[in-house]
Amino acid sequence: MKNRCTVVILIDALGYELAESFSAAGLERRVRLRSTLGFSQAALTTILTGCDPQDHGLWMMYSFARRSSPFSWLKYLPGCISSKKLWLRKAIRWKLERLDGVRSYYSLYEVPRPVFPNLDLPSRKRMFGPGGAGEKKNIFDHFIRTGARWRVWDYSVDEKLAFEELERELKSSQEGFYMLYTADLDSMMHIHGISSEKVERKLILYRERIERIIGAAPDARIMVLGDHGMCDVTRGIDLIAIVNSLGPGTCAGFIPFYDSTMARFRVTSERAGRELEGLLSGVDGGMLLNRSSLERMGVFFNDGRFGDVIFLTDPGTIIVPSFMSSEPIAAMHGYDPGAGCMYAAMLTNFDSGGLEMDLREVARVMVPDFEAGDKQ
């Protein structure tokens, strides 16, 4: 008998709570997936490798540079030139893509120019392909080794077109592994919030499209899942102003990186580090993450490449302004994975082995003969 093909529809930010009202005929099994601390790069790489971020290494889009930085040339520009200048953004992109060979998804966001030369981009290849997880093996490396047939539609393909192509392909051939990834729902919720009418309409559209996919391949193993949930934003804290209140002397002793829900600091002066920790431990709206909580969440890095001091905001609270955006947004993720709103959903038409799972277990559900680990 021919092996059943597997179809994975990976909807960024399809949270468990959100999916409670989402149903598609044929997908009766529902799993609550515990996500990982971080943003989509961390969660998606965990799904594709079966490893925690501290093992696959692609925790955050930006790390602090350990040796050379692909942005080091920016320190030779006059201090008055902002990284918001269009010509400079084009030059940064040209250098990253042409000279550094960056093929991964990245954004320059609103990272200030003086911070860039201290940063690195740990992810260099396309995530949804062989080599996408660096030293670690992902499911696509596994397919290359086993000679399995696979096809992927990722963020580079328009969502509507991807669903149409997937349906057409399944009507003509059902062999191997098919994966469709879309980030449209994630972007929509960031702008409009979780319970907006637009989101409701989007879920209805997904249900229709997924039912067409099930209709085109009724014998396939079908999985629909998210990588994390989403929380409505109820509060913003101006952490940059709070940290800057330490004064320029102390602030010269660390390099900050302000994500929307996390502030990470590379500390270069012990005294400044102690003052920073003292200040952050008293900030209302978040908490400092110590070594044991980072280890428990699978995101502890001994060399501090993502920061020696890490502050995480409470669910629903964002750092604004941050290096991501100077404006508040309606909903966010990147909180403690134990928060109810952070769980992702996985819906299948087969028994995946439990009602509660960890994101690391998804790789083995998608590809039963996959074993997590190094490439060779």
The encoded tokens of residue 194 equal: 């979780």
- The number of beta carbons lying within 10 Å of the beta carbon of residue 25 is 11
Shortest-Cβ-distance residue relative to Zn ion: 186
Piece of the chain touching Zn ion by CB under 5 A; list 75-83, 111-119, 151-159, 178-186: 178-186
Of 82-90, 142-150, 181-189, 206-214, which part binds Zn ion (CB under 5 A)?
181-189
The reply to whether 361 sits near Zn ion by the rule CB under 5 A is no
- Shortest spacing between CB 40 and Zn ion, in angstroms: 6
Pairing of strands 262-267, 235-237: unpaired
227 binds Zn ion (CB under 5 A): no
CA distance 4 to 328: 46
Of residues 213 and 263, the one with the C-beta less far from Zn ion: 263
Residue 148 beta carbon to Zn ion: minimum distance, rounded to whole angstroms = 30
52 part of the interface to Zn ion, by CB under 5 A: no
Long-range contacts of 212-215 (CB under 8 A, 24+ apart): 212/163, 212/167, 213/7, 213/9, 213/163, 213/166, 213/167, 213/170, 214/24, 214/25, 214/26, 214/27, 214/349
CA 33 to chain centre: 15
CB of 331 to Zn ion, least distance (A): 9
**Shortest CB 249 distance to Zn ion, Å:** 36
What gap in Å lies between CA 117 and CA 262, rounded to an integer?
A: 20
Query: In terms of C-beta density within 10 A (0-12 exposed, 13-18 middle, 19 or more buried), how is residue 91 classed?
Result: middle
* Beta carbon of residue 332, minimum distance to Zn ion (angstroms, whole number): 7
Whether the Cβ atoms of residue 256 and residue 358 lie closer than 8 Å to each other: no
| 259 lines the binding site for Zn ion (CB under 5 A) | no
Q: Please pick, from the candidates 55, 141, 186, 275, the single residue that binds Zn ion as defined by CB under 5 A.
A: 186
Instruction: Compare residues 186 and 361 and give the one whose CB is closer to Zn ion.
Output: 186
- The piece of 99-107, 110-118, 179-187, 344-352 that touches Zn ion (CB under 5 A) is 179-187
Give the residues lining the site for Zn ion (CB under 5 A).
186
